[in-house]
Amino acid sequence: MTAKEFLQQVYIANKEIDAKLEQIARLQSLATRTTSAIKGVPSGDSATNSRIENSIVLIHEKTAQLSAELTRLLQVSEKVAVTIAAVRNDKERMILEYRYLCFFSWENISKMINVSLSSVFKLHNKALKKILI
């Protein structure tokens, strides 16, 4: 894996994090609706209660699985952030942070650090060579 590929993992990880959080929110909403259904079910129908309880258990297990995946994705983001923080040159580090942690365009980065676009690319290439993975 190249340094650039290593750094680009964060973008993909963030997209996956957003998707996992959305899935967890939907599951929590479903669990709330299911729990409400349990309260409305007469206590004499054990088959219905059992199905609902099984559904809640499955929702909980899926939520736990998604939470574990979130932890793994956040660890990827943290590893990249720590790697970028180790770059000593301030402008090079800022370019890497803006690009790979904030997802800014090259043009925005150029304006933010007050250098030409070609200088941003040169500094970026220099910074990539300093990344140890």
DSSP annotation string for 20-61: HHHHHHHHHHHHHHHHHHHHHS-TT-HHHHHHHHHHHHHHHH
Alpha-carbon distances of 2 from 9, 75, 81, 132, rounded to whole Å: 11, 19, 16, 10
Taking only the tens of pLDDT, the chain with its 133 residues reads 999 999 999 999 999 999 999 999 998 888 777 655 555 555 555 665 677 788 888 888 999 999 999 999 999 999 999 999 999 999 999 999 999 999 999 999 999 999 999 999 999 999 999 998 7
Contact of 80 with 90, CB cutoff 8 Å: no
